[in-house]
Amino acid sequence: MAPEEMGKVTQRLRLWFAISSVLFVVVLAISPVKDLRHEWKQYKRAYVRYAESRPDTKRLLADYNPDIDQVWIPEMNVVDRCTTCHQGISKNSLADASVPQPFRAHPPIPHSIVNWGCVICHRGQGPATEVAEAHTTTLAWEQPMLPARFIQGPCGSCHLADRPETPKLNRGRALIDRLHCTGCHRLQNIDRPAMLGPDLSNVGTKVSRAWIYKWLKEPRTIVDADGNTVTNGYLTEEEPRMPFFKLSEDDLRALSGYLSTLRSHPMESSSINAAVLAKWAKNPETVSQGETRFRQMFCSTCHSLAVTRAGETKLIGGNIGPELTKVGSKVNPEWLVGWLRNPAGYLPHTRMPRYGWTDEDLYKVTRYIREQMVDPDLLKGVPALEQASPAEIKRGRELFLEKGCSSCHVIEGVPPQKDFGPDLSALGAKNVSQLDFGQSKIPRTLVSYIQAKLTDPSSVNPSARMPKFNFAAGDLDAITTALLSMTGPPATSALQHQVVPRDTPTFTAAGAFGEVYTRYRCYVCHKFNGYGGDLAPDLSYEGSRAQRAWLISFLKKPQTLRPTLVLRMPEFNMSDKEAATVADYLKMVLQHPAVNPDEANARASTPQLAALGKQLYEVKYQCQSCHTIGSGGGYVGPNLNNAGNWLTPAWMEAWLKNPQALVPGTIEPRRAFTPQEIQALTAYLMTLRHSGPAAAAGRGAQ
């Protein structure tokens, strides 16, 4: 090779060498530059700038660290680097909503971030150091942060017992329980109750085939905004538990045919003399007297009726039992009489009490129901249905099993189906890749999957057997929250130790009291030692609270103690013996340990003491802001006009000392009364006595 050519090559090589060296340096520099521009470092610097723009810079930067911050709790699998960017999270002065995110302080919550980290509650990817990786779903991470409106879900993964702080979760759990999702699904910590839907063994005696047809076709009970009935009755706040199955015309015919033939035993028939009946029938007041009885018995405490006033239709009444506006057009008359006489004779587990009706009352009330609570259009649009053919009956029975009806409904001789639907006990921890979104266009997240399934199961899977429910938006979020709480067993043993179990109290009432208690279904509204409903006062300590004579007269003729209450204790027509049995049991068994009757009874009350009490009541403490005595006062607390006949002095003293010790969560504020003030107030309250018929009746029964 010629030397000049050699020189050229060398020159070229040199040039190449120079260029590649420069490139090499540039490439080397990429990494530190990239590192400097890391998202989290930008937030770190922005925080310093922000802190410097505020007067409390020193305090805000006291524990500043230019590197990645993390909460590391190995025993709970927590490696959370969220505080790298959320640097003000525990700085009180950054609590205001005007502080820009991600620097704002976390609102105070019962758990400290140091002990729990963030991800246990919020989910997301704790160790991530990039905004998208930490918050959203990425290829490598399938558990994005929960939208904050579902944040109560994770509370429920450890707190299996309901807490007052998490109303949405509690509501969701209650709905899941009430709607009997457990009929088909296995769910964490919610047991399958003994009875789900009504027993259908005898449904043929209750309703016609046409009604069954209509119900299966449109189980919704809705009235539209103009007051026009759309389907079977009225929209109640409570979702009817019977969901909407999309059934074909043939299916409707077959199922209604099959069900209408179910008559396992005849209803108890009445044995009233025909002449007596004829006499009652002639009474022109029968229907209006029936209505009066219906009101007096306070049926509306459990059942609602639609009332139209000034063009607006509203449901008035409780929701323990079904809405009754049109029940007269629904049920067979013989069934109605038999049911009212003894509900358990038709449905052994019903919550409906067995009233002590006289035959005449029963006659009037059923006449009222059959003549006034009706709707001639109830069965509009139902085709003419004759006696069911054997083929229809056979097909109906097959359908009953195919559709999973026997998951919720019992029919004698038909085996129950358990776990008909998929197991949902760990749904809340599912990864997106474990969910089948089918052809649907919804966002690929667990939350949207759950909500789409709940809103319309067939939107995700066109052949889903799951029926359609019709949830209000708030309830949809509540149920989603509760489902998100079901994440299966805790991931680590440290978390396992945090689990607060759910307790399921039971109360067994034995002997003569047990019979009365079961007959009148006291537990549907009242609680006894933690077991029972919460519509009416907790009776666990009623024996310490009320005087025996008052209890008896109240049971015989309940009056309301709180004028603001719409829902009242029904009048059961209890016998004297039953009322005495209840009163004796309450006085003997349902006592509060902190209420000592002997001590209070031994204290002598003097007129001076009572006068001092009156003074305290009216001037110093102004109790009249909530309680009524005479005709003046507030109506937040009970009316005290008859306190001297109603309450025991021992209860009053203990109550005034510390109301929450006797009834946790009562709204009566606890005061710092001196012992002398307590005695004076008690002495005054004991002088307040009605001398009306109620008190006399009470004394008579004793």
Partner 1 sequence: MNARLALVMACLFALTATSACRKKSAAPPDPLRRAYDVETDWNDPQKMIPLNYQEAQGKRLFYADCVWCHADSTPAGPSNRSNVTPAPPLMNDGATLNGESDEYLRNIIMLGGSAMGKSAMMPPYGQTIGEKEANQLIAYIRAIAQPPYQPSAKPQSGYPAKQ
- Binding part of the chain for partner 1, among 146-154, 216-224, 336-344, 436-444 by CB under 8 A, reads 146-154
502 vs 620, which CB is nearer to ligand HEC? 620
Yes or no: say if 325 and 343 are a contact pair by the CB < 8 Å rule.
Answer: no
Q: Interface with ligand HEC includes 288 (CB under 6 A)?
A: no
Report yes or no: 84 and 71 within 8 Å, Cβ to Cβ.
Answer: no
Candidates 40, 44, 50, 592; binder of partner 1 (CB under 8 A) is 50
Q: What angle do CA 650, 651, 655 make, to 5 degrees?
A: 120
- For 401, residues 6+ apart whose C-beta sits below 8 A from its C-beta are 414, 417
Q: Please state the closest distance from residue 679 (CB atom) to ligand HEC, in A.
A: 24
> Mask 75-114, x = binds partner 1 (CB under 8 A)?
---------------------x-xxxxxx---xxx-----
Dist CA 463 CA 454 (whole Å): 15
Which residue in the set 387, 496, 625, 660 belongs to the binding site for ligand HEC (CB under 6 A)? 625
| Residue closer to partner 1, measured from CB, 39 or 268 | 39
What is the smallest separation between the CB atom of 23 and partner 1, expressed in angstroms?
7
Nearer to partner 1, 34 or 309 (CB): 34
Any contact of residue 42 with partner 1 (CB under 8 A)?
yes
Q: How far is CA 24 from CA 10, 12, 15, 28, 37, in A?
A: 20, 18, 14, 6, 20
Residues 493 and 490: their CA atoms lie apart, in Å, by 7
Nearer to partner 1, 39 or 177 (CB): 39
Closest CA to 661 of 595, 577, 570: 595
| Closer residue to ligand HEC, CB minimum distance, 607 or 669 | 669
Alpha-helix residue ranges (DSSP H) falling in 622-674: 643-646, 649-657, 659-662
Q: How many CB atoms lie within 10 A of CB 666?
A: 15
Other CB atoms within a 10 A radius of the CB of residue 323 amount to 23
Closest approach, Cβ 33 to partner 1, in A, equals 7
Nearer Cβ to ligand HEC (626/663)? 626
With CB cut-offs between 5 and 8 Å by kind, which of ligand HEC, partner 1, none does residue 17 bind? none
626-645 positions binding ligand HEC, by CB under 6 A:
626
CB nearer ligand HEC, residue 146 or residue 616: 616
Does 664 help bind partner 1 (rule: CB under 8 A)? no
User: Which residue, chain included where needed, has tokens 């769910």?
Assistant: 187
With CB under 8 A as the contact rule, which of the stretches 202-210, 224-232, 506-514, 621-629 interacts with partner 1? 621-629
Paired residues of 223 in beta bridges: 229
CB of 634 to ligand HEC, least distance (A): 6
Q: For residues 320 and 300, what is the distance between their CA atoms, to the nearest angstrom?
A: 10
Identify what 30 binds: partner 1, ligand HEC, none; CB under 5 to 8 Å per kind. partner 1
Residue number of the CB closest to ligand HEC reads 625
Measured between alpha carbons, how far is residue 636 from residues 327, 366, 494, 624, 668 in Å? 36, 37, 45, 10, 9
Secondary structure class of 396 (helix, strand, coil): helix
Q: Judge residue 191's burial from the number of C-beta atoms within 10 Å of its C-beta, 0-12 exposed, 13-18 middle, 19 or more buried.
A: exposed
Q: C-beta of 626: minimal distance to partner 1 in Å?
A: 7
Q: Is 442 in the site for partner 1 (CB under 8 A)?
A: no
Nearest approach, Cβ of 144 to partner 1 (angstroms)?
12
Least gap, CB of 633 to ligand HEC (angstroms): 10
- For residues 653 and 668, which CB has a smaller minimum distance to ligand HEC in the complex? 668
Where are the alpha helices (H) located in 403-489, listed in sequence order?
446-455, 457-460, 473-485
168, 180, 364, 395: residue in contact with partner 1 (rule CB under 8 A): 168
Q: Quote the tokens at residue 612.
A: 């001092």
Tell me the backbone φ, ψ of residue 72, rounded to 5 degrees.
Answer: -120, 115
CB 488 within 8 A of CB 429: yes
30 counts as binding partner 1 under rule CB under 8 A? yes
373 binds, among ligand HEC, partner 1, none (CB under 5 to 8 A by kind): none
The CA distances from residue 226 to 213, 222, 229, 312, 378, in Å, are 26, 11, 9, 8, 18
Which C-beta is closer to ligand HEC: that of 10 or that of 625? 625
According to DSSP, residue 210 is labeled H
Measured in residues, the chain has a length of 702
- The conformational region for residue 532 under phi > 0 = left, psi -120 to 50 = alpha, else beta, is left
Task: In whole angstroms, give the CA distance from residue 168 to residue 166.
Answer: 6
Asked whether position 177 contacts partner 1 by CB under 8 A, the answer is no
Size of the residue set binding partner 1 (CB under 8 A)? 57
Residue 696 binds: one of ligand HEC, partner 1, none (C-beta under 5 to 8 A by kind): none
CB under 8 A: which stretch of 29-37, 65-73, 359-367, 594-602 binds partner 1?
29-37
Q: Which is nearer to ligand HEC, 512 or 626 (CB)?
A: 626
Toward partner 1, which CB reaches closer, 18 or 230? Answer: 18
Strand partners, 99: none
d(CA 641, CA 647): 11
- Name the DSSP class of 165: T
Residue from 531, 634, 661, 690 touching partner 1 (CB under 8 A): that is: 634
Residues that bind ligand HEC (CB under 6 A): 625-626
Q: List residues binding partner 1 (CB under 8 A).
A: 19, 23, 26-27, 30, 33-34, 37, 39, 42-43, 46, 50, 53-54, 96, 98-103, 107-109, 131-132, 147-149, 151-152, 164-165, 167-168, 564-566, 619-622, 624-626, 633-636, 660, 665, 667, 669-672
